[in-house]
Copies of this chain bind each other. A is one copy, B any other.
Amino acid sequence: MSAQIGNDDVHSELGQTTNVWVVIPAGGAGTRLWPLSRAARPKFLLELVGEQSLLQQTVDRLTPFAPPARTLVVCGPSHAAGVARQLPTLPEANILVEPAPRGSGPAIALAAALIARWDPNAVMGSFAADHDVRDETNFVRAIQTAILAAAGGDLVTIGLAPTRPEVGYGYIERTDEVLVSASDRHAYRSARFHEKPDLTRATEYLASGRFLWNAGMFVWRVDAFLAKLSQLQPDLYAAIVHIAAAWGTPEQERITEEAWTNLPTSTIDAGVLEPAAAAGRVAVVPAEFGWSDVGDWHGLGDLIQRDELGNSVRGDLIQAETHNSVVWSDTSRLIALLGLENIVVVDTDDALLVIDRARSQQVRQIVDRLRDLKRHEV
């Protein structure tokens, strides 16, 4: 495998020696998109942008790298049926059902261990199930560069060039050391992972040009990843290798349940990437491809075509003197708005949300309250 191949040749070149596998951890509920997203109907299964669910769009976006046979979705028991129905071409065995949520660390590690068993020389990429990408061409090019960079055994992340001083994301700080170049794209040695900053720090990050958003997209050789994992989280490594060995045998369920339920919850970032970056073994590919994590109603509003008054509307709306608002209806009811500015209205069969658009992040608090109250609308 060569680091000098052209962008368009990467996949075919890799195909000869190395298979790319795609892993899609489908975990989060998308709490901040309540009341549309629910525990039983999580964000990745919803048609929020376009005619397909975010999960379907994620799989489609990655078909240049992996066919359904090399695509794995990791999800919880209550979402397996939804995933299976939405992705009819995905083999059933490629839906990995976690017995219980343990965070992104165990989910991605289990997928890596299974891929390593089936295809030891594989490169895998992990991509969140519920993000939106506008520029698929640039997305594909960034992933191609990451695959090239992964050949040397580094753990490669995609770092999104920040467009605002966002305090809601973690950041990846890159060095100037170029690991791999493909056309005008580079993979840099990354220096450090940074937690969600305050606004002052986020503004400094934005100005520096060396800080990138951590969008939870990772590419690596499975052997290199598992070697790092065995060193950094030996208990997790032992558990997932044990489970992977039993996978597909009559013992799968018993062993998975035993080994999995004892695992502590951990994230792939804190458990592997941050210590690996500190040890100098993480690379980052800076990219811009119109990315959004579709994280809250404010952000989702930005992804929907606005009308001439700046309103983003899905539903049967009559309005007067209402601007820059987001209206989402999951019912056939008429919604009438008058004299409002920067409001979000979300209408579902059993719950109605009306908020100041600037408070979109705080929808989580409402859901927490509902959970405390044991309300069925969660």
A residues apposed to B, CB below 8 Å: 35, 318, 320-321, 332-340, 343, 345, 347, 349-356, 358-359, 362-363, 365-366, 369-370, 373, 375, 377
From B35, B340, B350, B365, A354 is in contact (CB under 8 Å) with B340
What distance in Å separates the Cβ of A201 from its nearest Cβ neighbour in chain B?
25
Interface pairs (9), CB distance under 8 Å: A35-B336, A333-B350, A333-B351, A334-B375, A335-B354, A336-B353, A339-B362, A340-B354, A343-B354
Bound Cα distance A64, B356 (Å): 49
Q: Cβ of A333 and Cβ of B354 under 8 Å apart?
A: no
Q: Cβ of A336 and Cβ of B352 under 8 Å apart?
A: yes
What distance in Å separates the Cβ of A311 from its nearest Cβ neighbour in chain B?
13
Tell me whether chain A's interface is mostly helix, strand or loop, or mixed: mixed
Which residues does chain B contribute within 8 Å of A343, judged by CB atoms? Answer: 340, 354
Copies in the complex: 2
A345 (CB) vs chain B CBs: closest residue: B354
Q: Cβ of B35 and Cβ of A362 under 8 Å apart?
A: no
Q: Cβ of B353 and Cβ of A366 under 8 Å apart?
A: no
Q: Cβ of B352 and Cβ of A352 under 8 Å apart?
A: yes
Bound Cα distance A366, B337 (Å): 9
Q: Cβ of A339 and Cβ of B352 under 8 Å apart?
A: no
A340 (CB) vs chain B CBs: closest residue: B356
Q: Cβ of B337 and Cβ of A354 under 8 Å apart?
A: yes
Q: Cβ of A318 and Cβ of B354 under 8 Å apart?
A: no
Q: Cβ of A366 and Cβ of B320 under 8 Å apart?
A: yes
Bound Cα distance A370, B338 (Å): 14
Q: Cβ of B351 and Cβ of A339 under 8 Å apart?
A: no
Q: Cβ of A338 and Cβ of B320 under 8 Å apart?
A: no
Q: Cβ of A355 and Cβ of B334 under 8 Å apart?
A: no
